[in-house]
Amino acid sequence: MRNLEEWHPAVLFVYFAAVMGIAMLNMYPPLMISCMIGGGIYFTVRSGKIKPHGKYFLLWVILAVINPLTVHHGKTVLFILNDNPVTLEAVIYGIISAVRIIGVLYWLKILSDVMTSEKVIYLFGKISPKVALFVSMTLRFVPLFQRQWKKIYDTQKAMGYFQSDNAIDFFRERMRILDILITWGLENGMITADSMEARGAGTGKRTNFSLYQMHTEDKMILLMIIFLTGIIFIAQWKGMGMNVYPEIIIQGETFWNKAGGIAYAILAIFPVIWEFEVKLKWKYLQSKI
C-alpha cells in the first residue's frame, strides 16, 4: 500500500475535486460537518500539529458571527440589536457557511501539500502547457513565501526588532517584513524568468516525461470515488439540501439524504483510514524483520 501522495495524479485530482466540489455546491449540514471533520483530522494526521486549529477556530467564530450581524432575513427573531433583528435562520446559515469554508480551507491546505508542481504539469501539460506551468508555479510560491516569511522574521528578531508590545509597532514591523518579502518575490520572479529564457523555455516543441503509472490499486480507488460521488449526485438530484430563508427546511427524500450523507462521510474520512492502514501495515512488516 502507498501513501495518499503516492496515488496517481489523476486519482488525486478526481478525489479533491469531488470532496471540495460537492462541499461547495451543497448546503446539507451533514456534508458540511463531514467536510470539516475529515479535512481537520487528516490535516492533523499529516502535519502532526494541533496549534493551527486555533487559527481555524478563530476564523470560524468570526465568519459565524458576521452573517447574523449583517443579514437580517428569516422568520424567527431572536433579539433586536441596534434596531436590527438577529434571526435564528441567519445564525444557522452563518454557522453552516463557516463550517463549509473552514472545511474547504483544510482540504486546500492538504491539496497544496499533495499536488506538487510535477503532478500538475503531468495532468495538464499536454492540454495546455502554459496554464499547467502557471498553476504549478503558483502552487510552488505559496509554501515558498511562507518559508521566506519565517526566514525574514527570524532574521529581524535576531537583529533586535519586535521588542515593543504596542499595536502600532507590531503593525509597523509586520509591514517591514511584508515589504522585504514583496521585494524578494519580485527579484525571485525576475531571476526565474531570466533562467527560463536562458534555458530556451517556449522556443521549441514541449516534450513530456513522467514515471507515473496507473496501478490496480489506483483503479480501485478511482472506482470507489466515482461510486460514492455518484450516490451523492443522485441524492442531490433527489433534492438533498436545506433551505434557510425564510425558514429552515430540510429538503429531499429521507433515504437519499441519509445515503448521500453517509457516502460523503466515507469519502471525506477515507484518507484518514487509508493512512492508518498504511502505518499499521508498515509497523507489522517492521516487526517481522
Q: Hunting for cell 460537492 — which residue is that?
A: 22
188 is a domain residue:
no
Position 47 in a domain: yes
pLDDT at 210 over 70: no
Is residue 146 included in any domain, yes or no? Answer: no
| pLDDT of 212 | 77
97 is a domain residue: yes
As a whole number of angstroms, the distance between CA 152 and CA 175 comes to: 12
Taken in order 168, 173, 174, 176, the sign of the CA dihedral is: positive
Q: How confident is the model at residue 14 (pLDDT cuts 50, 70, 90)?
A: very high
Cα(39)–Cα(19) distance, integer angstroms:
10
Residue 83 located in a structural domain: yes
- pLDDT recorded at residue 45: 86
Q: Is the pTM of this model over 0.85?
A: no
DSSP-derived secondary structure for 8-33 = -HHHHHHHHHHHHHHHHH---HHHHH
* 24-47 pLDDT per residue, tens: 888 888 899 999 999 999 999 888
The per-residue pLDDT for 274 is 86
205 located within any domain: no
Residue by residue, what is the 3-state secondary structure of 254-287? HHHHHHHHHHHHHHHHHHHHHHHHHHHHHHHHHH
Residue 257: give the domain boundaries.
4-139+229-287
Closest CA to 19 of 113, 100, 92: 100
Q: In this structure, is residue 169 part of a structural domain? A: no
Q: Is 42 exposed, middle or buried (0-12, 13-18, 19+ CB in 10 A)?
A: buried
Contact status, residue 265 vs residue 30, Cβ threshold 8 Å: yes
Based on the structure, what is the number of domains in the chain?
Answer: 1
In a domain, 52, yes or no: yes
